């Protein structure tokens, strides 16, 4: 597999050559991918710390200021669909949705990343898209979006105990992935 190398501030990223193909729906788009907020040992909701994180997101992402100081206004919010075991992806972004007056699209099942990626690449959803997902599905989602999860996550999976990361993927006006980075939230 051919790899393209992208040098980013503090991160050296390798992007699969296949990711360099233009994707119509991702033209001039920034994707922000988060894991749902903290979860209890038992139950489908958020812990008090998770609820606090969700409330914090109502200001942290409205607008989001990336490490370069660029202010990004969220156009679309996606969350993995509710399951019988977890409402957390949706609950994590509900306060933000209310603050922005933007609905949360919960039509996509985290275990069916192909369907979700097809939707993202087929048509535009705005310049900045926030995705709240379950951590087990994020590495595969990143791969399907042309990113390198091993580089971003420093391994094959999103660690169970980590809730304060934001993945930023930027696609150029031609729809090609140009940068990827891991951001540590200050919360």
For residue 89, give every residue at least 6 positions away whose Cβ sits within 8 Å of its Cβ, in sequence order, or none. 36, 79, 80, 81, 82, 106, 110, 132, 133, 134
Domain tally, the chain: 1
Q: Is residue 72 in some structural domain?
A: no
Question: What average pLDDT is seen over the chain?
Answer: 88
Q: In terms of residue numbers, what domain contains 147?
A: 27-67+83-184
Q: Is residue 167 in some structural domain?
A: yes
Does the pLDDT value for residue 4 go beyond 50?
Answer: no
Pick from 8-12, 71-75, 124-128: least confident: 8-12
Instruction: Dihedral sign for Cα 68, 26, 102, 57, please.
Output: negative
Task: Look up the CATH number of the domain holding residue 173.
Answer: 3.40.50.1240
Q: Is residue 76 in some structural domain?
A: no
pTM above 0.75, yes or no: yes
């Amino acid at each position: 597999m051919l790899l393209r190398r992208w040098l980013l501030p503090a991160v050296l990223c390798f992007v699969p050559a296949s990711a360099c193909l233009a994707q119509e729906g991702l033209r001039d788009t920034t994707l922000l991918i988060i894991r749902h907020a903290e979860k209890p040992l038992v139950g489908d909701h958020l812990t008090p710390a998770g609820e606090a994180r969700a409330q914090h997101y109502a200001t942290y992402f409205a607008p989001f200021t990336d490490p370069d100081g660029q202010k990004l206004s969220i156009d679309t919010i996606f969350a993995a669909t509710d399951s019988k075991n977890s409402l957390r992806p949706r609950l994590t972004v509900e306060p933000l949705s209310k603050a922005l007056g933007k609905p949360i699209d919960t039509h996509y099942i985290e275990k069916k990343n192909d369907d979700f990626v097809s939707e993202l690449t087929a048509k535009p959803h705005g310049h900045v898209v926030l995705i709240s997902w379950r951590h087990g599905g994020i590495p595969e989602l990143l791969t399907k979006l042309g990113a390198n999860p091993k580089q971003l996550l420093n391994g094959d999976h999103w660690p169970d105990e980590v809730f304060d990361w934001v993945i930023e993927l930027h696609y150029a006006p031609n729809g090609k992935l140009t940068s990827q980075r891991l951001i540590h939230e200050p919360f």
